[in-house]
Structure 1
């Protein structure tokens, strides 16, 4: 990889090539320990996120599909949020394999497609959280004015807009992410030829992915909480704690990653002095904070779905039905097996 090409190559959510990039504008640095750490840390955490995220979000989807006839606007938003998280985490096995073998083996199409889906899942998940925040704000602050306009058709239209916006914002990832021929291996990286697309990527990740969503949450919930405090209901303290938890968890999980990406951008532009120690520290910070941010999709089912008593009852019913079906199937298999043994003994 040439120096010019490297200057135009940035780290995105679907670009892991920099873990193995030894070519720098200054003296070669030793990345052996960092690569070893990233393999162990990322693959372990990605596996953890994939399993928990798939089970949690999958259960949300199953519950909402089973009770779709009784679904309301909130349920529809939860359903799309779970789909966004599932779309996001389903790409993690590809990147885990890429990190482990230091070689992209899935072809150029999957390189582009998985990166696009990864980014789309990231943005749609955040956009749906913003949509749910705005919905809560409107319902609580302007209940009587909007009750007649808050309908399923309108919510369906909003969900389509969110998906379209997420796909559109992630479109540069589809266009500029490609399979690359590197030294003794094939890579998969985001490599635009125009530096303006690098600025766009940082703008989209930091502004659309953190600053605007967090600002919306702070504004809406800062006005919702005083209203809830004045309500004479037993559940108000529980709701207030949930609202505060939503904002704090979102900030703690995503802010460190966005800060690390911004520091890497400053380092690549020469704003931060180049050195091996600084380069290693920034890359390690991106690795650690990135994986931490990804675990947020495992918490969404807990934060938005499982805290509701009605939803929890429905989820437990599905889990119990699955366990009962599995138990009945094993019992039937055991009975058939014993019957087969008796018949075989009689024939003998």
Structure 2
């Protein structure tokens, strides 16, 4: 079975080194523009790039320069930076998919894959941090009011980024460029260690998906129970944006992880199914980077009010409103100190 079809975007099987550097026997002709699925994914990827880059750049400008710096804006600014950097490198993957040949050299082969996984890990780690922050603020409002600072939030963001970078290093180690059947490809070379493919895939699945979601679910369960105890089940407004971000991340990244795990046992699955699944799963994962700024706009305030206001006002209100409303809720529920409130 020819495994070269898995070279789309950033995912494919390992290749034998001697096979990769064989002399080409014919000139490769790209077939992507003749296939409906490939053309559709190209169009979707271009839309993701345009909306994701512009949307996240707008979030960065508003949260970084137009709004008063707070813990809340620190979280969302970091998320937007991660998504914006990822979208900046999408044109390389789009070109690769259209030409079915890698023309950008070894460094960018490694770096574009590295950026994608830094984006994945940093996004989910920041969502975990925000969930824990909200949980602590609801459970211990007085302590949170006295100890939560912008400086500490910035340090936590930095640690999340460093951890994301560390877990993304395998992309630099195993990513390589080679020649196969008349074309240059950017591929994952796991031939140096027989178990490296499985180890990398499982680590990404558990560290970048399962473990973070367990923590997020626990945090939100505690928050919901606390709100019910204080008869505040209708006060869901402070958690709309965060809930939507978590749901979007789960929906966008789950197909990718499923097909990467299936790829580990590719002998037992249909080749075309895996190839199609990896292409669609990668496109859905990329879509997460443009969904986040959309959610900032349409989940923060009442939709009708935002629709009538300017784009800048809508985005600013979406990020700032969460802190204001939560502060009022916690102020009412604190029995220890009537003045105790905190921004989430």
Structure 2: tracts of 5 or more residues without a match: 20-30, 316-344
1:205 offset after TM fit, Å?
2.4
Which is further off, 35-44 or 84-93?
A: 35-44
Task: From the superposition, tell whether residues 300 and 175 of structure 1 become closer, same or farther in structure 2 (CA, over 3 Å).
Answer: same
Do the aligned residues in 1 keep the contact of 2:9 with 2:93 (CA within 8 Å)? no
Task: From the superposition, tell whether residues 179 and 11 of structure 1 become closer, same or farther in structure 2 (CA, over 3 Å).
Answer: closer
Partner Cα distance (1:213, 1:35) in 2:
40
1:216 offset after TM fit, Å?
1.4
Alignment correspondent of 2:300: 308
Partner Cα distance (1:183, 1:128) in 2:
42
Alignment correspondent of 1:149: 147
Alignment correspondent of 1:289: 281
Do the aligned residues in 2 keep the contact of 1:13 with 1:118 (CA within 8 Å)? no
Partner Cα distance (2:204, 2:34) in 1:
25
TM, length-normalised to structure 2: 0.75
Task: From the superposition, tell whether residues 289 and 136 of structure 1 become closer, same or farther in structure 2 (CA, over 3 Å).
Answer: same
Which is further off, 164-173 or 177-186?
A: 177-186
1:287 offset after TM fit, Å?
1.6
1:300 offset after TM fit, Å?
1.5
Alignment of 1:90-109 (within 5 A): 90-109=88-107
Partner Cα distance (2:291, 2:215) in 1:
20
Root mean square deviation, CA, Å = 3.3
Partner Cα distance (1:155, 1:43) in 2:
38
Alignment correspondent of 1:328: none
1:41 offset after TM fit, Å?
2.5
Partner Cα distance (2:146, 2:57) in 1:
32
1:240 offset after TM fit, Å?
5.5
1:14 offset after TM fit, Å?
2.1
Task: From the superposition, tell whether residues 51 and 238 of structure 1 become closer, same or farther in structure 2 (CA, over 3 Å).
Answer: same
Task: From the superposition, tell whether residues 242 and 113 of structure 1 become closer, same or farther in structure 2 (CA, over 3 Å).
Answer: closer
Partner Cα distance (1:315, 1:65) in 2:
16
Aligned residue for 2:102, secondary structure, equals coil
1:55 offset after TM fit, Å?
1.9
Task: From the superposition, tell whether residues 248 and 157 of structure 1 become closer, same or farther in structure 2 (CA, over 3 Å).
Answer: closer
Partner Cα distance (1:318, 1:306) in 2:
8
Task: From the superposition, tell whether residues 101 and 243 of structure 1 become closer, same or farther in structure 2 (CA, over 3 Å).
Answer: closer
Aligned residue for 1:214, secondary structure, equals helix
Alignment of 1:35-46 (within 5 A): 36-46=35-45
Aligned residue for 2:291, secondary structure, equals helix
